[in-house]
Structure 1
Amino acid sequence: MNHIIYTDHALLRMAQRGVSYAQVERVLQYGRKIYHRGALIFLVGKREIRRLAGFVNDIHELEGLHVVVNSECVVITTYRNRATVFRVRS
């Protein structure tokens, strides 16, 4: 992503949770995309760790990191949750 826009809320949460801009960029680049409750969530889980372990340096530091983006592709918030399992409905 060339230019990422962040809400004030996202910047506050990133600071509180120790999430860097570089980590957000990497999650947006390598993370799985899930639509949930009208938002797009990018996340790096165990599946992505296994797939990218030999190709992306320090991918393990992103495990459980979620980046929530709205319909205008603005980052709304970030959080870590290693236990979250989303089920896609058909």
Structure 2
Amino acid sequence: MKLKGIELKGTYKVVYYNTSFEVYDEKGNRSYYEDSYGYWAKWEYDGKGDVIYCEDKGGILVNKRVKELTIEQIEKLLGYKIKIKGE
């Protein structure tokens, strides 16, 4: 199931209030919040429970995700060829 771009896999707890609801993952971390006024926010956590991504209706607030790149992608970003040295 997807909720505002979050792929929900596993067990989640949904808590409903009068004008909002929250979604918590199996570790008790709040993953999503939405209210009836149109505000929403979502969070992602690393294995230690630290926030690595946070976005709300206004945009991305935190992005500490690790991005994996190929050698070709790194070369494109740098604008030149690189060579990997053996250790």
- TM interval, short-chain normalised: 0.3 to 0.5
More strand by share: 2
More helix by share: 1
Larger Rg: 2
Q: Quick one: higher RCO (CA 8 Å, sep 6+), 1 or 2?
A: 1
TM-score, length basis structure 2: 0.32
